[in-house]
Amino acid sequence: MELLTNQVLAGIATGAIYACMALAVVMIYQAIDHLNFAQGEMAMFSTFISWQLMQWGVPYWSAFLLTLAISFAGGILIERLLFKPLAKAPVLTNVAGFIALFAIVNSVAGLTWDFTIKQYPTPFGSAPFLGSQLISTHQAGMIGVTLLMLIGLYLFFQFTRIGLAMRAAAALPESARLVGVNTSWMIALGWGMASAIGAVAGILIAPVVFLEPNMMGGVLVYGFAAAVLGGLSSPLGAVIGGFLVGVFENLAGTYIPGVGNELKLPIALALIITVLVFKPAGLFGRAIVKRV
């Protein structure tokens, strides 16, 4: 029984990582209607920027805010320079563009900061949280920040003009334009916000997994899985999806005899696909009605 609680708690702690990343995934999906394979690498790069700022003596929170601003601007810049020209190209060509971006960011980070792992500070400390050794104060802080971002995003998309305009631009670009939404800039804005959220995710994840150019490779797979499980159109779904994936993966690894530990990721992915077969839009996503 103790093992079960332990694994569930450890799963929630890891799930927070996935949830963070999944939020960034949902954000970009809301803006551009597909997934950005370079998202994890962009988050990693942002994290390195904040690390570099701190190396130069900038205090943690200033570095944090500066990084958010840089990432936001960087996201917009990438969209304007690289993906706006591809707006008329087929979707698959855009996906190839994400892969190219992935390769560029990863390689530049490797050359600039080397591949040795780096310690990344946390503002929350890493003492046991509420007496449980399984969740540290950092992980609790991470869950807290994720929930805050979730609430923020929810309010943004439900109640602000610009948030509503973004949703409209992604879902029905033509109709959105008719009511006066500048869809092109909405996409750029979406890139900026996704990039900034990714930066927060990276900064929260780095103290756990250590900072290095490949730190997001594994995380992104889980982030996608979590976002898809929860429903790509729902930030709440993405966060819940993250925790579910984290917990389920641990339980599969611990309790499925024989192959459980060796195959915990495939088993978790298989479960997600099974869920999708029955709920094609994810657990919390809206079903899409196709028009002829």
Partner 1 sequence: MSATRRTVAFGAAVAAFVFTSTTALAQKKYDTGATDKEIKIGHIVPYSGPASAYGVIGKTEEAYFKMINDNGGINGRKISFVSYDDAYSPPKAVEQVRKLVESDEVLVVFNPLGTPSNSAIQKYLNAKKVPQLFVATGATKWNDPKHFPWTIGWQPSYQSEGRIYAKYLMKEKPDAKIAVLYQNDDFGKDYLKGLKDGFEGKASLIEESYEVSEPTIDSHIVKLKATGADVLISITTPKFAAQAIKKAAEIDWKALQIVANVSASVGSVLKPAGFENSQGLLSAAYAKDASDPQWQNDPGMQKFFAFLDKYYPEGDRLNSSVVYGYGAAQTLAKILEMCGDDLTRANIMKQAANLKDFTPDTLLPGVKINTSATDFAPIEQLQMMRFKGEKWDLFGDVISGEVGH
Partner 2 sequence: MSAAAEDAVTEAPAAVEAVPKRAMTLGTGTSLVILAALLVTPMFVKNFVVFQMTMVMIYGIAVLALNILTGGSGQFSLGQSAFYALGAYTSAVLMENFNVNYALTLPIAGLVSFGAGYLFGKPALRLSGIYLALATFALAVAMPQLLKLHFLEHWTGGVQGLTVMKPDAPFGLPLGQDKWLYYFTLAISLAIYIGSVNLLRSRSGRAFMSIRDNEIAASAMGVDVAQYKTLAFGISAGITGIAGGLSAIVVAFVAPDSYTINLAIALFLGMVVGGVGWLPGSFVGAAFIIFVPNIAESISKGLSGAVFGVLLFLVIFLVPHGARQVAIVAQQMLGKLKKN
Q: Which part of the chain contacts partner 1 (CB under 8 A), choosing from 141-149, 156-164, 217-225, 230-238?
A: 217-225
Give the pair of three-digit tokens for residue 8: 């569930």
**225 is a site residue for partner 1 (CB under 8 A):** no
Neighbours of 6 (CB within 10 A): 15
Q: Are the beta carbons of 265 and 246 closer than 8 angstroms?
A: no
**54 is a site residue for partner 1 (CB under 8 A):** no
The structure tokens 């990039």 sit at 195
Give the pair of three-digit tokens for residue 40: 């994890």
Q: Which is nearer to partner 1, 126 or 182 (CB)?
A: 126
Instruction: Report the interface residues with partner 2, using CB under 8 A.
Output: 29, 33-35, 82, 85-93, 95-97, 99-104, 106-108, 110-111, 173-174, 177, 180-185, 221, 224-225, 228, 232, 258-259, 262-263, 265-266, 269-270, 272-274, 276-277, 280, 290, 292
**52 is a site residue for partner 1 (CB under 8 A):** no
Q: Which amino acid is at 190?
A: G
Q: In b/e form, how buried is each residue of 114-148, taking b as 16+ CB within 10 angstroms? A: eeeeeebebebeeeebeeeebbbbbbbbbbebbee
Q: Which residues contact 3 (CB under 8 A, 6 or more apart)?
A: 254
Binding partner selected for residue 85 from partner 1, partner 2, none, CB under the kind-specific 5 to 8 Å limit: partner 2
**62 is a site residue for partner 1 (CB under 8 A):** no
Neighbours of 96 (CB within 10 A): 14
List the beta strands (DSSP E) in the chain: 128-129, 132-136
Residue 160, φ and ψ in degrees, nearest 5: -95, 150
Distance in Å, CB of 103 to partner 1, minimum: 8
**58 is a site residue for partner 1 (CB under 8 A):** no
- Nearest Cα neighbor of 199 from 93, 75, 29 is 75
**87 is a site residue for partner 1 (CB under 8 A):** no
Q: Which is nearer to partner 2, 140 or 240 (CB)?
A: 240
* Binder among 55, 126, 160, 175 for partner 1 (CB under 8 A): 126
HSE (side-chain half, CA atoms, 13 Å) at 5: 6
Q: Footprint of partner 1 on residues 103-122 (CB under 8 A)?
A: 103, 106-107, 110, 114-119
Q: Which is nearer to partner 2, 65 or 273 (CB)?
A: 273
List contacts with partner 1 (CB under 8 A): 2-3, 6-7, 10-11, 13-14, 17, 103, 106-107, 110, 114-119, 126, 128, 133-134, 136, 205, 208-210, 212-215, 217-219, 221-222, 249-250, 253-254, 261-262, 265
